Structures are given as C-alpha cells and as structure tokens.
Amino acid sequence: MNKIKVIVAGARGRMGSEAVRMIEKTDNLELVACLENKYDGKKINEFDAEIDTEAIIYTDIDTCFKNVKADVLVDLTIPEVGYLHTKTAINYGIRPVVGTTGFTEDQLTELTDLAEEKGIGVIIAPNFAIGAVLMMQFSKWAAKYFPDVEIIEKHHDQKLDAPSGTAVKTASLIKEVREQKTQGHPDEKETIPGARGSDVDGMRIHSVRLPGLVAHQEVIFGSTGENLTIKHDSFHRQSFMTGVKLAVEQVMKIDVLVYGLENILE
C-alpha cells in the first residue's frame, strides 16, 4: 500500500501533537517530518516515547520541503504562519490541509487563485469536528426560517484569534440564506463598547475565553414566542481527528482549494 506522506506544522502544539498521534496510528498515513519554530533537528519521538517514528523537526520550511518527499502538509500553527506555509506548500506541489484559523478574505482568495493556477488540491477547514460541521449546516437550514440569530463561541484562553474561524464560517453560511437585517432595537446604544459583540452582516458574534474550555459554540435563533438553540461542544481535541484524516485522504483527489469540511463529506 502506498502511504500518504505527511508533514505536520505546529507538531508540538495542542492540535499538532494530536495530529501526529493520529497519523502514527493510521495505516495509510506516514509522518515524514514536522515543522516547528523551536526544536530544530530533534526527533518528534524524543517528546512522545509512544510515537514510533524517525521523523525530525525542521524550523525552516524551505529546508524541510527540499529535504523531505511529502504529499501533504497539515498546518496547525498561527494565522500569519499558516498562510505562508500554505502558499509555500502549493508552490512546492505539496497539498495543504489547513486547520489554522484567522485567515483574511483576501488571503483565502489569493490561495484559491494560486491553487487553481498550480492545479494543487488544498483543504482549509475552520473546524474538523463532524459535529461542528453538522451544527453549522443545521444553523444554515434554520436561518431560512429564523433570520434573528446570535452566535456565542467559547474557547480556551490560549486562543489567539477572535471570533473563532468556526463562528465566522457559521455566519457566512447563514448569510447565504438569511434575509438581510440589522438586529436589535434601531436606537440601541452600547454604554460599554463591545457589549453587543462583533457585528457580521447584522448578526452578532460573542467570544468567550476561559481556562477549562476547549471549543464550544451555540447558535441561538429567536422568533415570536420561541427560541431555537443549536449547540456543539468539543471536549477533547481527538474530536477533530476524523476530519483531519478524511481531509488528508481527500486532498489527494482534488486539484482546487476547498473551504470547509462540509464540501468533502458524503
């Protein structure tokens, strides 16, 4: 069996270390190297004795891509780095699977155009948890009937970007079907700035950051005499790994950029 050769960027992080463990346990995937901004030249198994791999950690992406033959780059880093890694991988003919959130619209457009020009498959998914993908799809469905909606996303307090990629993606899916409106009272005034959260196309997104949380979102729809709440919780980062594995397999079969795991789920 030809294994898919994978490089993990951000391999020592919360998500990256989980991805490394998933790849090591998966028969058709092979971890060939890692990218991290520290730990140059160390082996990844020095950090996790249960991982049986000779894969080494690179700090420089060009050195890594020139020395290692890889099919896929899984990027789980930080927004600026993830964007540069994705661009570089496409230029090297390595297919990016990106979980890193916080890319701008302009960056997504640029990467879409680059992937098309080079004919390289790319999957960017703000959330790899199957339950979260369903939560977003159900929300899109509900928004047809309930245009008044607020999103509350809750994450651990080490998260760098706000609002979360999932909340932004949820709002953009809802926007596709929702009757455009500005919610709340027309004369509403914030006596403390930020009290009403961020405004995305008239919808409000509220971001909670607390120790103890992992990744959670509630989408609350309001109508006369009723509310509908669609809620998803990731209690452990293993919840994202089914989606990461699926994306690594599917990115080998496409030659354009796909944004959102829903587009590759059957």
Ligand X SMILES: O=C(O)C1=N[C@H](C(=O)O)C[C@H](O)C1
Ligand Y SMILES: NC(=O)C1=CN([C@@H]2O[C@H](COP(=O)(O)OP(=O)(O)OC[C@H]3O[C@@H](n4cnc5c(N)ncnc54)[C@H](O)[C@@H]3O)[C@@H](O)[C@H]2O)C=CC1
Provide the minimum distance between the beta carbon of 164 and ligand Y in the complex, in angstroms, as a whole number: 7
Q: What tokens were used for 252?
A: 């080998």
Chain-centre distance for alpha carbon 52: 27
Query: What CA dihedral angle connects 120, 123, 124 and 129, to 10 degrees?
Result: -170
Provide the minimum distance between the beta carbon of 165 and ligand X in the complex, in angstroms, as a whole number: 4
240 binds ligand Y (CB under 6 A): yes
> Mask: binding to ligand Y, 188-217, rule CB under 6 A, as x and -?
------------------------------
| From the list ligand Y, ligand X, none, partner contacted by residue 81 (C-beta under 5 to 8 A by kind) | ligand Y
Provide the minimum distance between the beta carbon of 88 and ligand Y in the complex, in angstroms, as a whole number: 11
When the beta carbons of 107 and 164 are compared against ligand X, the nearer one is 164
When the beta carbons of 186 and 212 are compared against ligand X, the nearer one is 212
135 binds ligand Y (CB under 6 A): no
**Spatial separation of the C-alpha atoms in residues 174 and 172, rounded to whole Å:** 5
| From the list ligand Y, ligand X, none, partner contacted by residue 83 (C-beta under 5 to 8 A by kind) | none
Q: Is 156 assigned to a binding site?
A: yes
100 binds ligand Y (CB under 6 A): yes
9 binds ligand Y (CB under 6 A): yes
Provide the minimum distance between the beta carbon of 129 and ligand Y in the complex, in angstroms, as a whole number: 6
153 binds ligand Y (CB under 6 A): no
Residues that bind ligand Y (CB under 6 A): 9-10, 12-16, 35-37, 76-78, 81, 99-102, 125-128, 161, 165, 240
